[in-house]
Structures are given as C-alpha cells and as structure tokens.
Amino acid sequence: MRRNSPLLLSILFLCAVCAQAGANVVQAQQTVVLYAPHDKTTQALNQKHACFSFELGQRGDAAEAAATRWDLGYGFLNINGEDYFQVQTSAENRSVIRDLGKFEWGDYFEIPALEPLPEVEKGQSRTVFVNASAGKLEAWEQSTPIFARIIVGHLYLVHVKDEDSDFYALFRVEALTQRESCTISWKQIPPPQS
C-alpha cells in the first residue's frame, strides 16, 4: 500500500488553488523597446516599431493584429526636443494616460481610477489639441489625457478603453534616447477600487 505524504498533498492542493485563481493573478512585469517611427535613412513613417499593445503584449512588428491594434505609441510627438507617449486616439478609442511620477516597481504608490475619454458619435472624429506655445506647455501637459512627456524613472498608468477592451496597464520608463528609442517595463493590473 502506497502512502501519500502530507507535504505532497499540500503542494498539490496549493497548485490546484493557484490554477483556479489564475485568471485573477496580475501578470509578471515584462520589458519592451519601442523605436521612433521615423526611419532616418528613408524618411518614411514606420509605426509598427513605435506602437505597443498591452493586451497582446507585442509591438506592431510582432503580429499583424498589433500593427493595427495598439494602445501606446512612442515618438509621434516631440516638443522642444523631448519625446511624448500617446495613447490611441481613434474615434472608437477612449483610452487615457497619466504620469504618476518617479517610482521604482517596489515603491508604494496610489493607483488612481482614470476616467476614459467621452464617447464620440458614430461618423464623427476625435479632435486632438497640442498647445506648446510659450508658457502654455506645462498647463497643457497637466490637462491632456492622451499625451505624456517621457521621463526616465517615471511610472505611467494607462486605462485602455475601446469597443472590445477595458483594462489598466502600468509601465515604467527604464531608458530613453530622445528621437530614437524608449525601453519600458510594464504589466497589466486590476482596475483600481473606486
């Protein structure tokens, strides 16, 4: 007769509980490098290396779907020599972004609820304003929900909201070479409690 050890039974029980709760587990942090969309040699726009889908976990060049389904864009806006992030701004997309400030992943910080952009009527387009005039840039940066200046060491929160998706992602800028590349570490997170 074979006996099961209590330790083995405990391990099997924990594995079963973890597998059952798998849908609620926050994914592990991952890293990706985004590249400026302007090819210096051909002067062509190549957005597939500059766009990233948090939902698919891929840059635009990794899958055909990510080339059109992206959540974060890098390098489409540069003001006074500084690069900005941009969330998708199509009429169907209501995503928003916020710079949370300088934090390490292990630091304590609040995760605010981000209100998505208002819906746009069918057949209408979303209007985007950028105000980089003297004395207005800082106020515009504080008020825009679709652009965020890229600062190394800062954490950013994105609320991705469109016709098919509604989730939050958190990412940190690990490295930046202006107008060339940006390295982020990221993970999807549960929505904050209201």
pLDDT tens across the length of the chain (194 residues): 455 454 443 443 334 433 333 333 356 789 999 999 876 665 567 778 899 999 999 987 655 555 567 899 999 999 999 999 999 988 889 999 999 999 999 999 999 999 999 998 888 888 888 888 878 898 899 999 999 999 999 999 999 999 899 999 999 999 999 999 999 999 999 999 86
Considering the domain boundaries, does residue 15 fall inside one? Answer: no
pTM of the model: 0.81
Considering the domain boundaries, does residue 79 fall inside one? Answer: yes
Cα 17 to Cα 12: distance, rounded to the nearest angstrom: 9
Q: Are 72 and 158 in contact (CB under 8 A)?
A: yes
Considering the domain boundaries, does residue 8 fall inside one? Answer: no
- Residue 165: per-residue pLDDT: 93
Considering the domain boundaries, does residue 12 fall inside one? Answer: no
Considering the domain boundaries, does residue 10 fall inside one? Answer: no
Total tally of structural domains belonging to the chain = 1
Considering the domain boundaries, does residue 194 fall inside one? Answer: no
Q: Are 173 and 20 in contact (CB under 8 A)?
A: no
Considering the domain boundaries, does residue 19 fall inside one? Answer: no
For residue 169, the cross-strand partners are: 158, 188
Cα–Cα distance list, 83 to 70, 91, 95, 141, 165 (Å) = 18, 24, 19, 12, 27
State the residue for tokens 């900005």: 84
Considering the domain boundaries, does residue 21 fall inside one? Answer: no
Range of the domain at 76: 27-189
